[in-house]
Amino acid sequence: MSLLVVGSVARDTIRTPHGEIEDALGGAAVYFSLAACNFTEVRLVGVVGDDFGDGDIELLRSREIDLAGLQIVEGGRTFRWSGEYSEDMNSRETLSVELNVFEHFEPVLPPDYISSSFVFLANASPATQLSVLEQVESPVCVMADTMDLWIDIARDELVELLGRIDGISLNDAEALQLTGCRNLIDAGQAILDMGPANVIVKKGEHGAVLFTASGVVALPAYPTGRVVDPTGAGDSFAGALMGSLTRDGSVDEERLKAAIAYGSVVASFTCEGFGTVRLAEIGEDEINDRFLKYCESLQISR
């Protein structure tokens, strides 16, 4: 089984109450891949400028992430994002966005990616996400992420996408915005009705809620007190989730619960370092230790 991710590769400048980093490796597809590579082979499709630099290419390659689908635009400049977190880190303000080469990103899958069995369409315009969907052949499972912007300006395409994929991960505010519901449980059900068999609503430090035909399962975040930078937590959550599903090769409710547990665990590591720093250094053993602790903490004797 192989896992394909299509999404942004970026340079991030991040300020939190704990410090800051400048022009650091970032982007949804990067966080996703660095998380997923602990579980399975990952193929990354994205675009950067020739300013991106070899160091981070080497870092991604060293984690055995397949970069055959990473376009490098000669004379182009890499997508840049800069943001600052509030004191309690529950909200953040975007200070600047330069889409640069990402603005006209038209993902083209290398021929051997077309048969990828698991596919994640990281946050991008629904039109871009649909164009990837057109290129893959009979995948086992396609999931997508989205954001408030697309719900605002490209709702129809997003609804079309939802009718054609197996799962969606989005945050709580987005789920309410997309459905007009006042209650998250109603919102999740309403999104299920739009087509996907699995809806995963991310609630940051409060965990995630899984909606399937079998019902609703709420799972907590892995509790960590060492949160220094939440950037990429959602994308690395999705990466571990899709990575573990790909490794298992199936997507039933039991596997989805384990996948969310892995997602929560890996996201907790991500938050413990700036940018991708902590995420890039963890390995299977650390992940498994925390995963077992997480599962045990949720076992309730009757």
87 binds a second copy (CB under 8 A): yes
The residue range among 61-69, 137-145, 232-240, 293-301 that interacts with a second copy, by the rule CB under 8 A, is 293-301
CA separation for the pair 272, 224 (Å, rounded):
8
- C-beta neighbour count of 186 within 10 angstroms: 14
Min dist CB 99 to a second copy, Å, is 33
Check the CA dihedral 267-273-275-278 and report its sign: negative
String of DSSP letters for 211-239: EETTEEEEEPPPP-S--S--TTHHHHHHH
194 binds a second copy (CB under 8 A): no
Check the CA dihedral 105-202-25-133 and report its sign: negative
3-state DSSP call for residue 15? strand
Contact 113, 4 (CB under 8 A): yes
Min dist CB 235 to a second copy, Å, is 21
Min dist CB 260 to a second copy, Å, is 8
292 binds a second copy (CB under 8 A): yes
CA separation for the pair 164, 192 (Å, rounded):
12
300 binds a second copy (CB under 8 A): yes
Largest CA distance in the chain: 63
207 binds a second copy (CB under 8 A): yes
Q: Which of 1, 57, 59, 89 binds a second copy (CB under 8 A)?
A: 89
Structure tokens at 106: 């038209």
CA separation for the pair 242, 265 (Å, rounded):
13
The residue range among 50-58, 123-131, 156-164, 178-186 that interacts with a second copy, by the rule CB under 8 A, is 178-186
Residues β-bridged to residue 65: 42
Min dist CB 225 to a second copy, Å, is 4
Q: Which of 114, 127, 153, 295 binds a second copy (CB under 8 A)?
A: 295
189 binds a second copy (CB under 8 A): yes
Binding track over 11-30 against a second copy, x by CB under 8 A: ------x-------------
Q: Which of residues 233-272 bind a second copy (CB under 8 A)?
A: 254, 257-258, 261
Cα–Cα–Cα angle for 186, 224, 215, rounded to 5 degrees = 25
Min dist CB 298 to a second copy, Å, is 4
Burial class (CB in 10 A: 0-12, 13-18, 19+), 181: middle
Q: Which of 3, 136, 209, 279 binds a second copy (CB under 8 A)?
A: 209
CA separation for the pair 204, 175 (Å, rounded):
13
The residue range among 30-38, 70-78, 103-111, 216-224 that interacts with a second copy, by the rule CB under 8 A, is 216-224
Query: Token pair 């929560």 is at which residue?
Result: 264
184 binds a second copy (CB under 8 A): yes
Check the CA dihedral 28-104-146-162 and report its sign: negative
Binding track over 217-236 against a second copy, x by CB under 8 A: xxxxxxxxx-x---------
Min dist CB 241 to a second copy, Å, is 13
301 binds a second copy (CB under 8 A): yes
Return residues touching a second copy (CB under 8 A): 17, 87-89, 176, 182-186, 189, 203, 205-207, 209, 215-225, 227, 254, 257-258, 261, 291-292, 294-295, 297-302
